[in-house]
Each structure stands twice: as C-alpha cells, then as structure tokens.
Chains A and B, each alone.
Chain A
Amino acid sequence: MKLTKYQLIKIKVGIAGETVKFTADTDKMYERIDGMFVSLPKDDSHFGSTLELRIADQEILPEGFETKLLACNQSTSPNERYFMFDKDEAIEAHGSHIEGRFTDGGFTNGITFPYQAIIYLKLKNGKPEDVPQK
C-alpha cells in the first residue's frame, strides 16, 4: 500500500509584490493531507509574503497568512519542517481541488526575480493514529 507522498506545487513569482493565483489537484491515490511546508529561494523573501489557501472548498489559510509561519530555517531537519494538521483535522486529498493566492512581500534587498515558490504537501494513506504527529 502506498503510504506517503510529498507533492510539490511550484509558483513562479515575477516581480516584487506580485500576487500569483494558482490551482492544483492533490494526488488521487492518497486519502488525506497531513501537513504542508512553504519554501522560498531566500529566507528574506518570507518578510511580508502571504499565502491564502483553499482545499476542496474549505478554507485552510485565510487571506494574509504569512508564509514564514509555514516554513523553517535550514537548521531544522526536513522531516520536521512541515506544518502539521491536527490528527482529527481530516483534510481530504483524493484529488481535491486546491486554489491559492501567493503574494510576495515586496522585500527586494538581495532577492533575485523571477523566483519559484514551492509548496510541499505531505499526503498520507492509512489511519492518522498510525502516523507520528509533530
């Protein structure tokens, strides 16, 4: 049985302060989304950057939610970087439609444009109890 998949959503940001709308679908082979993580090429790009996210018509992150709360610095091990949803907070995958809006924070000092923002989704099968929760 397939247990885990890390799915990427890539967003191209052209200029400082740009808002990029995007859509995606979760992998149909997986039941739920256990966690997520946002990565930008430079940590300073997180200053003021926000991500609004809806999955299967459910609000996951409201407008104005800062990406830095969904990220960690490089001293955190990759497995611990994920913003985990609660055990009883079932966010259904199974090909759920994702709608999002990423807004760059406009911090330009040392930032090169265009850059690629990446959203990682941790998809799982099996009971949530079987998964060690962070």
Chain B
Amino acid sequence: MCPKSKEIRRFVILPVDVTEDGQIIHLDRKLPAHLLRCKGIMLSVKNCIDPVNDIPHLGEVSVLLNSRQLHPFHHMAGFKREALSKKNSFVEINEKLIPNFTVNGFYRDLGKSKDHEGKFIPYSLNIYLDCLASE
C-alpha cells in the first residue's frame, strides 16, 4: 500500500480568451480553500496562431496571489509554432496561499496575433497554477 500523502497536487487553470486587438482581460478568481501553496506557474497558448513563425511577445501576464498581497509573476506570454517543446516546466513560485483569498491580475494583448492581411486572429491562453492542496 502507498502511504497516505497529506498534500496532493492540484492544477488550477485560468482561461483567457482574447477576441480583440490590444484587449486587457482582468483576472479575479477565488481559489478553493484547500489549496496550500502555489508551486509554479505556466502559460500556454492553446491554438495555432501563426503556422510559420514564433511570436515571443504575444501578450503580458501579471498574476497576484492572496487577494493582491503577493505579486510573484509578471511575464511575457509567447506563442511557439512547434506544438511541443523538448520539455515543459513551470516557473517556480513556491508561495503559501491563504484560504479563500483570490488570485488576481491581468492579461494584456500586444497586438501581434495577426494574419498576413493584418487582421486580428482571436486566440485562447491558459494560465496554469501548479498547487499543493490538503487531502
């Protein structure tokens, strides 16, 4: 039998749907009370925006934890033409979470998601929080 673990992994996904050029989307979500710690954050663009080129500066992401008490993450979100990377990994955060507090922040599109005629291409991005939770 495996020993019972007191802490278990839980992923939280904050989906962002960008429909307009330069759109700013605010993040405001109450996290489940059993989450203890945020170990890391990862950004992932879901759809294929450009079949030829990478877009390193697609948008800007800012994430605040514990109802704006902590601001551990401010990063550029990029699109990678290759669907898969050699190895995926989360950016380390390792901050304690206060029960029933919120995760806040914003996503700001930088207007780089365009087709060859300059028309904006809508896209979706996921912000993943890799968390530890009590069982």
Contact = CB atoms under 8 A, between A and B. Distances in A.
A66 B48 contact: no
A72 B51 contact: no
Contacts of B51: 109
Interface string B83-109: 111111000000000000000000000
Interface residues of B, number: 29
B1 to A, nearest CB: 7
Interface string A72-83: 110110001001
| Interface majority SS (helix, strand, loop, mixed), chain B | loop
B5 interface: yes
Contacts, number: 82
Interface string A85-107: 11011111010000000000101
A58 B8 contact: yes
Interface in B1-60: 1-5, 7-13, 15, 42, 44, 46-48, 51
A78 to B, nearest CB: 13
Contact of B9 (A43, A76, A85): A85
Given A31-B1, A31-B2, A88-B5, A62 B86 contact: no
Say which size band chain A's interface belongs to.
35 or more
Given A64-B15, A68-B44, A68-B88, A89 B9 contact: yes
A30 B42 CA distance: 31
Nearest to B10: A59
B123 to A, nearest CB: 10
Interface of B: 1-5, 7-13, 15, 42, 44, 46-48, 51, 82-88, 124, 126, 128
